[in-house]
Amino acid sequence: MAQQVALVTGASSGIGAQTARALHDAGFVVYGAARRVERMNELARTGVRTLSMDVTDEASLRGGVDRVLAESGRIDVLVNNAGYGSYGAVEDVPLAEARAQFDVNVFGAAALIRLVLPGMRERRSGTIVNISSMGGRIYTPMGAWYHATKYALEALSDSLRLEVAPFGIRVVIIEPGAIRTEWGQIAADNLRSVSGDGAYHDVAERTATMLAGSSRPDASMVSDPSVIARTVVRAAKARRPRTRYAVGAGAKPLILTRKVLPDRVFDRLITRVVASRG
């Protein structure tokens, strides 16, 4: 059987870098895509093929997909992983930034899905893996726009799964918990710059401390990105993958807690968790 071909976005860091490497180790031909191509030099040395791609730029997405198809003839697995956390109070976050958050976390993924589906439908096979978050099932203060994008990605994935199943195409949602990557520090920096000084200062600072903590090398109660990478490989190789994989620190218990608790009780729980930080 021909080697399976995978395209992974956000491969210059964290979960994407580890996923690209793990898929390569599992025998896939892997293309890793990101804006910072130089950050993927080490991956390239291991045999991962690297692509310059900005998921908010349709021409760059089309160029990347065309290159994979020209070189390898097909895309069997698409891993939509590129993303960041735009944190800040709803009152403070400029709508242009909220739109930018949706452009990367939702429309970037959707644009790539649209580009790979014709080939997958033709071959009547393929797997689309969308990296959501436990934040696609639960919510925190200061995270409204990030959660909005991940809730949206979950809904998009659920509808898509029904649409493409008749063509033999699988759609998988991954819901990472707290993972030790640059994500937490980037989200904390965004939060402090947007809400650090105003009416929401206290909760913003506590939330930022919590977010930044997950990026520290000595952070406890966070998981290594390899946990997510292994899950993606398992899903990509499965004949009948699960629809959702909640993995990494906190993901399963928090999602379950949200499921069973009434809104007000969950509100109090999250408020208490944030208040205990900082």
Ligand X SMILES: NC(=O)c1ccc[n+]([C@@H]2O[C@H](COP(=O)([O-])OP(=O)(O)OC[C@H]3O[C@@H](n4cnc5c(N)ncnc54)[C@H](OP(=O)(O)O)[C@@H]3O)[C@@H](O)[C@H]2O)c1
86 is catalytic: no
Q: Which is nearer to ligand X, 84 or 167 (CB)?
A: 84
Pairing of strands 77-80, 244-247: unpaired
Q: Which is nearer to ligand X, 2 or 59 (CB)?
A: 59
Catalytic residue among 13, 86, 132, 223: 132
SS (H, E, C) the chain: CCCCEEEEECCCCHHHHHHHHHHHHCCCEEEEEECCHHHHHHHHHCCCEEEECCCCCHHHHHHHHHHHHHHHCCCCEEEECCCCCCCCCCCCCCHHHHHHHHHHHHHHHHHHHHHHHHHHHHHCCEEEEEECCHHHCCCCCCCHHHHHHHHHHHHHHHHHHHHHHHHCEEEEEEEECEECCCHHHHHHHHHHHHHCCCCCHHHHHHHHHHHHHCCCCCCCCCECHHHHHHHHHHHHHCCCCCCEEEECECHHHHHHHHHHCCHHHHHHHHHHHHHCCC
Q: How far is the CB of 178 from ligand X (least distance, A)?
A: 5
Q: How far is the CB of 103 from ligand X (least distance, A)?
A: 8
159 is catalytic: no
Q: How far is the CB of 110 from ligand X (least distance, A)?
A: 14
Q: Which is nearer to ligand X, 53 or 89 (CB)?
A: 53
Catalytic residue among 13, 87, 139, 150: 150
CA atoms of 37 and 138, how far apart (whole Å): 33
150 is catalytic: yes
47: nearest Cα among 78, 63, 23: 23
Q: Which is nearer to ligand X, 3 or 41 (CB)?
A: 41
Catalytic residue among 31, 146, 151, 200: 146
237 is catalytic: no
Q: How far is the CB of 171 from ligand X (least distance, A)?
A: 16
Q: How far is the CB of 150 from ligand X (least distance, A)?
A: 7
Q: Which is nearer to ligand X, 42 or 202 (CB)?
A: 42
User: Which residues would be at the binding site for ligand X (CB under 6 A)?
Assistant: 9-16, 34-36, 39, 53-56, 81-84, 104, 131, 133, 176, 178-179, 181-184, 186, 214
Query: Catalytic amino acids?
Result: 12, 132, 146, 150
